[in-house]
């Protein structure tokens, strides 16, 4: 009997075999879970550091979607505002044409009255434009936007009132970055030199036959009101470009987050299948050994 | 001059000794699979020789052997391995409790899953973002309320589940103490039996095996120290307190700690909860206080951070009616287990203060609240709410992984030691069969010797005696 050879008993072999089999079985279970869920990380202990990234990336994806929604809403809001301002611009263009026609010396008083009627129509149209709403909210009313902000007083109208405010609608379009999406209505349509003032003055001068005023002051008043509208359109355009850029960045970010999440979270199918097969073959080998271990001992041989 | 019948006694001794040796082999074979059994070995030795007196040399012509006897039946156990095995069992007991607690916690936290708390936070902030774009919209207001209710439910559910696991651990402590006492009681009884056998000069091998088995079981429950006395009885101490004494025992008990309401382990009036270092008892205490308790603490910290931060901004804003905002979360809640919305917000959606100016269309305050998502809070050690939760989940994961690995290592170590013990003390059937054969042949030979003696005496008595 070699002194340095460890005595091996049947019990030891059985114990080791059982430990090996249960180890292989638990590995099989782990890879099967990975394959069944398609995820590499199914609980925090699978990858304690990775789980932080996965959770943060999920938030990032969710939030990028939120900002994309905000950008889409802002774009609709701004498109509505833009259309309205373009209509206001065309109203002012028509008003300018009316002023030029009215300033002509050959026109009779009746002719001017007819033009004044036309201008009254333009005033009504301008009112409709200034009270443009989007999904129940008035786009030129500032933050007090649940009621029509502009109203005309007098019949025929001689003045206008503004019941909104100059509040800004600031929406987050990117993380920690907001943008003013609304156009201040009073600054664009109101004011002593604004479109309403210009149109009312034009109509009054047409009715009064005030040809000199029509040719000079009214025209310049209409021009400056037109400028205010065009400036508002310009700043909307600039904001809408900013919105496009933010949207593109968010799309890119969203895509990048989705890709890295998949990298952290998704199981590498080929690797998991190979691991599963390795674990299964280890299990099979252990079973094979078990079958052979229940072999005859010396007890069976000594008869 | 030798005795005529001298050889008969030698043969008798050989028969008896070999039969005894075969009995021992039989006992070993019978107990081959009995847990805790240690193989026994007969120690055969020549009996005291007989000096033949003679005429010329009264003493010294040469000694004649008188045969064989079983001097002792030895138990092949090494105390060092038994001590090591108990230490490993204690550590394994601790890690098993830790592993159990952490994997249960991992299962109920359910991250990274779609239904985990983290996604409820995401949805909560998302609802505020949505509200900021149209604060007058009742649908968005109720979306915000729904997100907040789901978040409160999620926090409460998680906290309550962990609390019930904590209560279960506290009950398990009671059961574990009862198990320790029962083991201690049986060890003490065995002490008495072993002492009485030892005092007679015998080695109570099988009783020692039983006691070692009980000591190993006890070691997995607590980090015990075993000291053996000259009379083969043992003293077992836990954290320096004598559980089993040389004569008698002193059982453990539990009582409710008035400050926490949880059980503490006491020995003769002393609180030894803090002295428990390894083993299932210590593991259960750690599970209850260190794992479940600290996780609940983290959840409470998270919940109160959320309540304070959101309420602070909410109260600075204005509701849908232009009135200053009240509380959003009920600040009367104690932590995660009872976090809830303020009754004003639940009763009336318009109480949500989304506006920072009082204008119904303004969503500035909703933006401000939504931005809390990424804001570092001093009460959370400079982490954001979600960041704090992520770090809690991650550290839970690291600890669970450590426990899994330590468990595997300890199990391997335990198996190695048990293999080493088996290498010394385990029964090998092959070996026993060979021993059996060996002694069978020796027995046969001794019987043959007796026959020869018999024939010799027959020759002597019959042939010589008949001649008269």
**Distance (Å, whole) CA A286 – CA B280:** 31
Say which residues have a Cβ less than 8 Å from residue A258's Cβ, sequence separation at least 6.
A61
pLDDT of A302 reads: 65
Rg of chain B taking only CA atoms, in angstroms:
39
Name the band, by pLDDT with cuts 50, 70 and 90, for residue B374: confident
pLDDT of B320 reads: 87
Fold for the domain defined by A69-232: f41 fragment of flagellin, N-terminal domain (1.20.1330)
**Average pLDDT, rounded, for chain B:** 90
Residue from the list B111, B386, B429 with its beta carbon closest to the beta carbon of A297: B429
Is the CB of A143 less than 8 angstroms away from the CB of B393? Answer: no
Higher per-residue pLDDT: A112 or B77: A112
Is the CB of B363 less than 8 angstroms away from the CB of A69? Answer: no
Roughly how many angstroms between the first and final C-alpha of chain B, as a whole number? 24
pLDDT of B360 reads: 76
- Where do the domains of chain A lie? 10-38+267-302, 69-232
Residue from the list A74, A165, A178 with its beta carbon closest to the beta carbon of B359: A165
- Res. B436: pLDDT tops 80: yes
pLDDT of A2 reads: 42
pLDDT of B465 reads: 63
Whether A46 contacts B397, CB under 8 Å: yes
Residue from the list B373, B393, B430 with its beta carbon closest to the beta carbon of A55: B393
ipTM: 0.81
Query: What are the tens digits of pLDDT across the range A64-93?
Result: 999 999 999 999 999 999 999 999 999 999
Please name the residue of chain A whose CA is at the shortest distance from the CA of residue B399. A45
Q: For residue A195, give the nearest of A257, A260, A129, A100 by alpha carbon.
A: A129
Query: What are the tens digits of pLDDT across the range B49-93?
Result: 877 666 665 555 567 888 999 999 999 888 888 899 999 999 999
Is the CB of B361 less than 8 angstroms away from the CB of A141? Answer: yes
Q: For residue A74, give the nearest of A210, A217, A244, A303 by alpha carbon.
A: A244
Q: What is the pTM of this model?
A: 0.81
Strands annotated E in B357-444: none
Partners of B242 in the β-ladder? B237
Rg of chain A taking only CA atoms, in angstroms:
40
Mean pLDDT of B34-51: 90
A147 touches chain B (CB under 8 A): no
Is the CB of B430 less than 8 angstroms away from the CB of A135? Answer: no
- Least Cα separation, residue A69 to chain B (angstroms): 8
- Least Cα separation, residue A223 to chain B (angstroms): 33
Query: What are the tens digits of pLDDT across the range B91-138?
Result: 999 999 999 999 899 888 888 877 889 999 999 999 999 999 888 888
Q: Tell me which residues of chain A, numbers 172 to 211, contact chain B at a CB-CB cutoff of 8 Å.
A: 172, 175-176, 178
pLDDT of A213 reads: 85
Angle subtended at Cα B368 by Cα B366 and Cα B374, rounded to the nearest 5 degrees: 120
Determine the distance from the C-alpha atom of residue A142 to the mean position of all C-alpha atoms in its chain, rounded to a whole number.
21
Q: For residue B289, give the nearest of B301, B274, B278 by alpha carbon.
A: B274
Query: What are the tens digits of pLDDT across the range A269-291?
Result: 899 999 999 999 999 988 888 88
Is the CB of B422 less than 8 angstroms away from the CB of A142? Answer: no
**Distance (Å, whole) CA A206 – CA A114:** 9
Please name the residue of chain B whose CA is at the shortest distance from the CA of residue A143. B361
Q: Which of A15, A43, A142 is most worth mutating to test chain B (most B CB atoms within 10 A of its CB)? A: A43
Q: For residue A202, give the nearest of A90, A282, A273, A122 by alpha carbon.
A: A122
pLDDT of A297 reads: 63
Q: For residue A209, give the nearest of A74, A95, A113 by alpha carbon.
A: A113
The DSSP H or E segment spanning B75 is strand B68-75
Q: Tell me which residues of chain A, numbers 15 to 34, contact chain B at a CB-CB cutoff of 8 Å.
A: 15-16, 19
Whether A28 contacts A36, CB under 8 Å: no
Q: Which of A17, A24, A45, A296 is most worth mutating to test chain B (most B CB atoms within 10 A of its CB)? A: A45
Please name the residue of chain B whose CA is at the shortest distance from the CA of residue A8. B423
**Distance (Å, whole) CA A101 – CA B415:** 107
**Distance (Å, whole) CA B129 – CA B148:** 13
pLDDT of B217 reads: 93
pLDDT of A147 reads: 87
Name the band, by pLDDT with cuts 50, 70 and 90, for residue B186: very high
Residue with tokens 């917000």: B345
Residue A45 DSSP SS3: helix
DSSP letter at B322? Answer: S
- Write out chain A residues lying below 8 Å of B434, CB-based: 298
- Res. B468: pLDDT tops 60: no
Q: For residue A282, give the nearest of A11, A27, A33 by alpha carbon.
A: A27
Please name the residue of chain A whose CA is at the shortest distance from the CA of residue B118. A55
**Distance (Å, whole) CA B205 – CA B443:** 25
pLDDT of B60 reads: 53
**Distance (Å, whole) CA B312 – CA B116:** 26
**Distance (Å, whole) CA A222 – CA A194:** 8
Name the band, by pLDDT with cuts 50, 70 and 90, for residue B144: very high
Query: What are the tens digits of pLDDT across the range A250-259?
Result: 999 999 999 9
Whether B157 contacts B338, CB under 8 Å: no
pLDDT of B14 reads: 94
- Concatenate the DSSP letters of all residues of B232-252 into one string: S-EEEEETTEEEE-SSSB--E
What six digits make up the tokens of A194? Answer: 């604004």
**Distance (Å, whole) CA B393 – CA B110:** 10
pLDDT of B210 reads: 94
**Nearest 10 degrees: CA dihedral of B443, B448, B454, B458?**
170
Name the band, by pLDDT with cuts 50, 70 and 90, for residue A1: very low
């Amino acid at each position: 009997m070699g002194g340095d050879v460890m005595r091996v008993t049947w019990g030891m072999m059985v114990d080791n075999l059982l430990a090996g089999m249960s180890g292989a079985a638990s590995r099989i279970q782990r890879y099967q879970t990975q394959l069944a869920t398609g995820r590499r990380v199914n609980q925090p202990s699978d990858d304690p550091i990775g789980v932080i990234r996965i959770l943060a990336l999920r938030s990032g994806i969710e939030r990028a979607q939120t900002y994309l929604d905000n950008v889409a809403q802002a774009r609709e809001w701004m498109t509505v505002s833009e259309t309205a301002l373009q209509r206001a611009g065309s109203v002012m263009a028509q008003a300018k044409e009316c002023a030029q026609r009215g300033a002509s010396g050959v026109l009779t008083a009746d002719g001017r009255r007819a033009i004044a009627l036309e201008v009254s129509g333009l005033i009504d149209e301008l009112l409709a434009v200034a009270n443009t709403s989007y999904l129940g909210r008035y786009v030129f009313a500032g933050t007090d936007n649940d009621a029509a902000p502009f109203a005309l007083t007098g019949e025929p109208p001689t003045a206008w009132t503004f019941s909104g405010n100059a509040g800004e609608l600031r929406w987050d379009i990117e993380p920690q970055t907001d943008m003013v999406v609304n156009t201040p209505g009073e600054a664009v349509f109101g004011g002593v030199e604004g479109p309403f003032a210009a149109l009312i003055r034009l109509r009054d001068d047409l009715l009064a036959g005030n040809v000199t005023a029509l040719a000079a002051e009214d025209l310049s008043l209409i021009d400056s009101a037109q400028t205010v509208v065009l400036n508002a359109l310009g700043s909307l355009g600039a904001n809408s470009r900013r919105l496009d850029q933010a949207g593109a960045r968010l799309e890119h970010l969203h895509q990048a987050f989705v890709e890295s999440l998949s990298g952290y979270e998704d199981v590498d199918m080929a690797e998991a299948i190979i691991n599963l097969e390795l674990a299964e073959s280890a299990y099979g080998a252990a079973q094979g050994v078990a079958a052979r271990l229940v072999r005859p001992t010396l007890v069976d041989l000594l008869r | 001059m030798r005795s005529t019948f001298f050889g008969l006694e030698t043969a008798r001794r050989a028969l008896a000794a070999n039969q005894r040796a075969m009995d021992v082999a039989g006992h070993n074979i019978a107990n081959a699979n009995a847990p805790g059994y240690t193989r026994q070995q007969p120690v055969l030795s020549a009996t005291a020789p007989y000096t033949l007196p003679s005429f010329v040399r009264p003493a010294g012509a040469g000694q004649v052997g008188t045969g064989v006897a079983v001097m002792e039946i030895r138990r092949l156990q090494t105390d060092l391995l038994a001590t090591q095995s108990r230490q490993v069992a204690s550590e394994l007991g601790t890690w098993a409790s830790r592993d159990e607690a952490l994997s249960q916690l991992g299962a109920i936290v359910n991250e990274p899953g779609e239904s985990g708390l983290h996604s409820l936070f995401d949805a909560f902030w998302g609802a505020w973002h949505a509200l900021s774009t149209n604060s007058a919209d009742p649908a968005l207001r109720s979306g915000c309320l729904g997100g907040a209710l789901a978040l409160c439910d999620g926090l409460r559910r998680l906290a309550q589940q962990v609390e019930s696991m904590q209560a279960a651990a506290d009950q398990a402590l009671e059961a574990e103490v009862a198990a320790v006492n029962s083991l201690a009681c049986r060890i003490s009884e065995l002490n008495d039996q072993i002492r009485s056998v030892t005092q007679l000069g015998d080695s109570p091998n099988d009783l020692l095996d039983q006691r070692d088995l009980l000591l190993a079981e006890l070691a997995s429950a607590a980090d015990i120290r075993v000291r053996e006395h000259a009379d083969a009885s043992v003293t077992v101490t836990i954290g320096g307190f004598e559980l089993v004494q040389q004569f008698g025992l002193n059982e453990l008990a539990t009582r409710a700690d008035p400050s926490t309401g949880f059980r503490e382990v006491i020995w003769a009036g002393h609180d030894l909860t803090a002295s428990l270092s390894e083993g299932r008892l210590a593991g259960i205490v750690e599970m209850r206080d260190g794992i479940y308790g600290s996780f609940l603490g983290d959840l409470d910290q998270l919940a109160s951070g959320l309540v304070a931060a959101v309420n602070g901004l909410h109260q600075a804003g204005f509701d849908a009616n232009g009135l200053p905002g009240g509380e959003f979360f009920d600040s009367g809640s104690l932590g995660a287990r009872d976090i809830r919305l303020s009754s004003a917000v639940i009763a009336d959606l318009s109480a949500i203060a989304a506006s920072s100016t009082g204008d119904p269309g303004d969503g500035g305050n909703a933006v401000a609240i939504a931005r809390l998502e990424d804001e570092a809070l001093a009460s959370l050690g400079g982490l954001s709410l979600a960041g704090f939760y992520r770090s809690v989940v991650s550290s839970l994961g690291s600890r669970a992984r450590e426990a899994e690995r330590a468990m595997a290592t300890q199990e391997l170590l335990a198996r190695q030691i048990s293999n080493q013990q088996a290498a010394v003390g385990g029964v090998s059937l092959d070996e026993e069969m060979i021993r059996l054969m060996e002694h069978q042949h020796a027995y046969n030979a001794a019987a043959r010797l007796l026959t020869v003696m018999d024939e010799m005496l027959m020759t002597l008595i019959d042939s010589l005696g008949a001649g008269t």
